[in-house]
Amino acid sequence: MSELSERMVRDMQLRRLADRTQESYLHGVRSLAKHYKRSPDHLTDREVQDYILHLLNVRKVAWSTCNTQVSGMKFFYGTTLGRTSTCLAIPPRKVEQRLPEILSAQEIKRVFAATKNVKHRALLMTVYAAGLRVGEAVRLKVTDIDGNRMMLRVEQGKGRKDRYTTLSPRLLVELRGYWKQYRPALWLFPGQDPDQPMPGDTAYQIYVKAKLKAGIRKEGGIHALRHAYATHMLEAGVDLRTLQLMLGHRSLLTTQRYLHVTQKNLGAPGKPLDLLAVSKKKRLPQT
């Protein structure tokens, strides 16, 4: 389906869909074609719906993953093929709201200490110290580090928006030491090809190996460093609006969820049970 892929990619690019969205949509349609071993433009609506049921009931994929694949199929059939009659109306399902497992400051230190490779440690420290998404971290350029203003520029983050976040003095020292050793030219963290940034999957594996080496069993990938950053900033007294800007959240509601996992709130004095005055009741005289 190379010709169809090219048409779909062109349609997505014309609508300025994010690169990762394009990859997810294309992967969903290719998986559909691989399942039936036929070109997806020859499949009936019933076959597409049966495949969606296969994802949910047989492969047991997460609902969010299924939603992404369905969105890709809707785009392919509705936009690329113009088959507006294709019905892929999947009943909406409320996404489970799960709180992330937050790494403590001591666990963060253990992750860094377990990472002996200078480049890898600088990457993990940058993700945590600036609260970056992995895609933002690996696409940092050397020129994005502003040591004079102590600012770090995030170019075209999620939502295709630029933003600035603070540059930690300790991180600046780490990055300078890393730069002196590796001398990256364009990308701060280049991949094997110096003209290309490090792949996000590589950064993910770097974190997973460091976490296991540090003896940490909490769930979550490299995004856990961003969760830890947000939580630790709130515990340090940073207000929600400032944190929202630094994280690049579109809505303050997204930032507010970190209030549910901060020690500042969960460990606050005045726990109801501790306020109860426990006293021994006088036993009534028996008659």
**Residues noted as catalytic:** 133, 158, 223, 226, 249, 258
Radius of gyration of the chain (CA): 24
Residue 102 CB coordination number (10 Å): 19
Contact 24/72 with Cβ under 8 angstroms?
yes
Contact 72/26 with Cβ under 8 angstroms?
yes
CA-closest candidate to residue 203, choices 122, 131, 146: 122
Q: How far is CA 151 from the centre of its chain?
A: 22
CA-to-CA distance for 145 and 155, rounded, in angstroms?
11
Contact 85/75 with Cβ under 8 angstroms?
no
CA-to-CA distance for 155 and 161, rounded, in angstroms?
7
What is the b/e burial string over 173-200, where b = at least 16 CB atoms within 10 angstroms of the residue's CB? ebbeebeeeeebeebbbbeeeeeebbeb
Under DSSP, the state recorded for 158 is T
Q: CA torsion, points 226, 229, 234, 236, in degrees to nearest 10?
A: 180
CA-to-CA distance for 120 and 210, rounded, in angstroms?
9
Length of the chain: 287
Residue 63 CB coordination number (10 Å): 15
CA-to-CA distance for 121 and 141, rounded, in angstroms?
17
